[in-house]
Structure 1
């Protein structure tokens, strides 16, 4: 009998389509690479305006641009916290005007110490959003609550203003908030300290995750360290060519760093994203959902008050137009354009800065080229719609609409 050599044939696995490249890209954009499209858009905007007018990227104009976006970025930071828990706010811009006016009344008319007047303005912002969020927790949609709050604040602004409907803050300590500049030496020292803290935080986080591969360490620690160093020291060098680093910029960066720590390194941040990602699942996991929503609105109240004070100091006055205009639209647009999802649970606090840079660069470039305000509105609205469309694609994981 002939012996036949039988070879074992591995079972044929069912045909499983490979993950499409587009799906992998969408998955990456929903995570750590979400800021890449924003940076690309920002680079294209800067390249276009620089090609039209070389003065766009001069140190003087960049300093002007930075001061112009501080108010929007601070307010957008508060909006980010509300969006992360799946809510929306339409009243924070008007609230910033009311808080700035209250602070001006206390500091100038009542002659309170500036620090005490600032605390009074912040207290007004916190108390008002607390009243709003209690209505939201009760069950009223945040869109309706904050829309009604915006109307109430418009009337409240007229109440807290004097009969002439304006308070001039020029020549007072209030005005020094925006007119104070840090010398280059102090700016570099603070920048170096912030950069070292950032690098140490990345390294410790890398060690805690147990990832000790060299290639992983280069990607997780080395590349961000180099990029952040270039950005930090480059920005300080540009902004320090004039009188120094503006105090409002330092206030903004400080608030961003504090917010980044609490959202990225604490249990509060974990709960924040859990509530925004799936509120019912977070409730079943024992996370205090209502408390997290309240915390988010309270952060917004503080940010609105600080934004209003910085803007009033920059404009040297408060009036019945404080907190009005396109500020609310720009703040929401900055948060969404920067990468925060309107559906909650995705995005970082740095989206406030990136989005404000995009919106502010468009506005600054349009003004520099002498274009009409219509072009500015068209561009801002178009970028906002594009950002929301990208967010929708990332949420459903496909370019194709859902079949119903």
Structure 2
């Protein structure tokens, strides 16, 4: 098993159980197993503050609007998480999402090709662009510079891909159905039941494996998590089907999260992914294909960027030069970091994309609902991001004191 930087820090000597290093170690130990708990607490505080100002904030309609608003950010943040875990960063994926949407919409709307062909072309475009970026990065050029330059190039490329009027309307076309399709309540509850049974079966399988190795485990380790998942799934379906039904973009996000969770936690790929982000030299000595893992992460980001762009353009009913522009890139990176993914690599969870997007989106949604100025949203989002990065620095360094490591 590869020794990561986090593991190395965990075995370093302490100055004392109550000293600065001991406190930093306690924070790191708590965060390692329960990194999502502080995020959930912050999210609860944000919801409580905005609900105290307007009872409409937690209404069925506004919760549905909130979840739809965060889908694009969450999908893009999911790809960003993979890149951050291997210790890289990307600044071009938001603009790339606009380019991919322009390619897909152009083929589907302007050239009359089937929707599946347009979607495949959009995803392929995203993966080709990130493949090229990854190749340059693997030659030793910092990913910050490569993707910053890529962002500028893509801003020019979208002008080339779009028609002379620099806009493509998808209203009334099959492309618009990506976001407008809603799953009926009955089918949605069926999906929730299937998800609950699948998770309960997975936990029971883990319980049987531990029992076969002599580990003392209780059925409570199966029942309690399964009940929690059931409450979340059925409660979510009940809330989101009060309007028209379960929105298709949310189902797309859920499927992507589940696939990513399985790949990062249940496969050898996931072990290699975190090993590369934790300590590349150690991973290289252990025989892990570091360059290939970096490439895979960027390819996943390219696919996520394409899907995010197509979902967003379907919701906006069009693609233009502003697609993928604005605060989308900042929000995606902020969502990944606020959700618990480290900027220093080797630490993070797929679910951080969803949790971080909920935090960022909840602030934006609340500001809009209360009619506050945009400055308030920027101040709040920036402050949350700075605090999250500061906590990440403390966890990575293992000390509350600057310039020292545990």
Looking at structure 1, the residues matched to 241 and 235 of structure 2 have their Cα atoms a distance apart, in angstroms, of 10
Matches within 5 A, 1:121-200: 121-200=122-201
For the pair 1:92 / 2:96, whether they are aligned, the reply is: no
Residue number in structure 1 paired with 2:398:
397
Residue number in structure 2 paired with 1:309:
310
CA displacement at 1:208 relative to structure 2: 3.4
Residue number in structure 1 paired with 2:387:
386
* 1:129-153 C-alpha deviation (Å, 9 max, x unpaired): 0000000011111000000000000
Residue number in structure 1 paired with 2:52:
51
Residue number in structure 2 paired with 1:229:
230
For the pair 1:368 / 2:369, whether they are aligned, the reply is: yes
* 1:294-328 C-alpha deviation (Å, 9 max, x unpaired): 00000000000000000000000000100000000
Looking at structure 2, the residues matched to 49 and 327 of structure 1 have their Cα atoms a distance apart, in angstroms, of 23
Residue number in structure 2 paired with 1:358:
359
Residue number in structure 1 paired with 2:4:
none
Aligned-CA RMSD value: 1.6
Looking at structure 1, the residues matched to 44 and 223 of structure 2 have their Cα atoms a distance apart, in angstroms, of 23
For the pair 1:295 / 2:296, whether they are aligned, the reply is: yes
Between the two proteins, the alignment pairs up a number of residues equal to: 387
The SS at the match of 1:31 is: helix
CA displacement at 1:228 relative to structure 2: 1.8
Residue number in structure 2 paired with 1:106:
107
Looking at structure 2, the residues matched to 102 and 356 of structure 1 have their Cα atoms a distance apart, in angstroms, of 26
Residue number in structure 2 paired with 1:6:
none
Looking at structure 2, the residues matched to 57 and 365 of structure 1 have their Cα atoms a distance apart, in angstroms, of 10
Looking at structure 1, the residues matched to 225 and 43 of structure 2 have their Cα atoms a distance apart, in angstroms, of 19
Looking at structure 2, the residues matched to 164 and 189 of structure 1 have their Cα atoms a distance apart, in angstroms, of 45
For the pair 1:117 / 2:91, whether they are aligned, the reply is: no
CA displacement at 1:211 relative to structure 2: 6.8
- Does structure 2 conserve the Cα–Cα contact (< 8 Å) formed by 1:29 and 1:394? no
Relative to structure 1, is the Cα distance of residues 118 and 233 closer, same or farther in structure 2, using a 3 angstrom cutoff?
Answer: same
Looking at structure 2, the residues matched to 211 and 153 of structure 1 have their Cα atoms a distance apart, in angstroms, of 56
Greater Cα offset, 226-235 or 67-76: 226-235
- Does structure 1 conserve the Cα–Cα contact (< 8 Å) formed by 2:338 and 2:384? yes
* 1:247-301 C-alpha deviation (Å, 9 max, x unpaired): 0000000000000000000000000000001110000000000000000000000
* 1:63-100 C-alpha deviation (Å, 9 max, x unpaired): 00000000000000000000000000000000000000
- Does structure 1 conserve the Cα–Cα contact (< 8 Å) formed by 2:24 and 2:395? no
Residue number in structure 1 paired with 2:285:
284
Looking at structure 2, the residues matched to 230 and 400 of structure 1 have their Cα atoms a distance apart, in angstroms, of 42
The SS at the match of 2:168 is: strand
Name structure 1 gaps, 5 residues minimum: 1-15
TM-score norm. by structure 1 comes to: 0.93
Looking at structure 1, the residues matched to 403 and 197 of structure 2 have their Cα atoms a distance apart, in angstroms, of 46
CA displacement at 1:110 relative to structure 2: 0.6
CA displacement at 1:394 relative to structure 2: 1.1
TM-score norm. by structure 2 comes to: 0.92
Looking at structure 1, the residues matched to 377 and 24 of structure 2 have their Cα atoms a distance apart, in angstroms, of 34
- Does structure 1 conserve the Cα–Cα contact (< 8 Å) formed by 2:207 and 2:217? no
* 1:357-393 C-alpha deviation (Å, 9 max, x unpaired): 0000000000000000000000000000010011111
Relative to structure 1, is the Cα distance of residues 365 and 305 closer, same or farther in structure 2, using a 3 angstrom cutoff?
Answer: same
Bigger radius of gyration among the two: 1
Match of 2:216 among 213, 216, 225: 213
* 1:188-217 C-alpha deviation (Å, 9 max, x unpaired): 1111111222222233234434474345x5
Looking at structure 2, the residues matched to 176 and 211 of structure 1 have their Cα atoms a distance apart, in angstroms, of 52
